[in-house]
Structure 1
Amino acid sequence: MHTEAKLIQGLKSPSTFFYRLGETEIVPRFAKKMTWLFVLSALVFGFVAFFGIGMDSLAKEATSLTPLEYELEKTMFFFGRLIAGLLYAALILFFSSLVFWTISDHGEYRKIVMVQGLTLLILLLEKLTFVPLSLFFSIEWYSSPLSLGVIAQAITSKSYVVYLLGAISLFKMWMIYLQYRGIKYLTRQKNWLVWLLIVLVNVLFWALNALLAYLDLSTLI
Structure 2
Amino acid sequence: MQKEVKLIRGLRQPSYFFYQLKETEVLRGYKQKVILVFLLSALVFGLVSSFGIGMDPLSKELNTLSPLSFEMEKFLFLLGRILSGIVYAAVILFVPALIFWTISDEGEYRKLVIIQSLVLLILLIERLTYVPLSLFLSLDWFSSPLSLGVIAQYITGKPWVIYFLGCFSLFKIWVFYIQYKGIKRLTEQKNWLIWLVILLTNLLFWSVTAFLAYLDFSTLI
Q: TM-score if structure 2 supplies the norm length?
A: 0.97
Q: Distance in 1 between matches of 2:123 and 2:162?
A: 19
1:114 partner SS: helix
Q: How many residues align?
A: 221
Partner of 1:143: 143
Q: Distance in 1 between matches of 2:90 and 2:129?
A: 22
Q: Distance in 2 between matches of 1:5 and 1:19?
A: 12
The question of whether the paired residues in 1 share the 8 Å contact of 2:133 and 2:139 is answered with yes
Partner of 1:8: 8
Q: Which moved more, 1:2-11 or 1:18-27?
A: 2-11
Q: Indicate how the Cα distance of structure 1 residues 198 and 97 shifts in structure 2: closer, same or farther if over 3 A, else same.
A: same
Partner of 2:159: 159
TM superposition shift of 1:62: 2.0
Q: Distance in 1 between matches of 2:90 and 2:181?
A: 22
The answer to whether 1:182 aligns with 2:158 is no
Partner of 2:31: 31
TM superposition shift of 1:213: 1.0
TM superposition shift of 1:200: 1.1
Structure 1 residue runs of 5 or longer lacking an equivalent are none
Partner of 1:98: 98
Q: Distance in 2 between matches of 1:200 and 1:62?
A: 42
Residue identity opposite 2:22 in structure 1: G
Q: Indicate how the Cα distance of structure 1 residues 118 and 50 shifts in structure 2: closer, same or farther if over 3 A, else same.
A: same
TM superposition shift of 1:195: 1.0
1:3 partner SS: strand
Partner of 1:49: 49
Q: Distance in 2 between matches of 1:3 and 1:16?
A: 13
TM superposition shift of 1:22: 0.5
Q: Deviations over 1:151-203 (max 9, x none)?
A: 00111111111111011100011111110110111111111111111111111
Residues 70-81 of structure 1: pairs in structure 2 closer than 5 A: 70-81=70-81
The question of whether the paired residues in 1 share the 8 Å contact of 2:5 and 2:30 is answered with no
TM superposition shift of 1:27: 1.3
Q: Distance in 1 between matches of 2:65 and 2:16?
A: 55
The answer to whether 1:22 aligns with 2:6 is no
Residues 111-126 of structure 1: pairs in structure 2 closer than 5 A: 111-126=111-126
Partner of 2:130: 130
Residue identity opposite 1:80 in structure 2: G
Partner of 1:194: 194
Structure 2 residue runs of 5 or longer lacking an equivalent are none
The alignment's C-alpha RMSD in Å is 1.1
Q: Deviations over 1:70-104 (max 9, x none)?
A: 11111100000000000011001112111111111
Q: After TM superposition, what 4+ stretches of structure 1 lie above 4 angstroms from structure 2?
A: none
Q: Distance in 2 between matches of 1:220 and 1:99?
A: 23
Partner of 1:59: 59
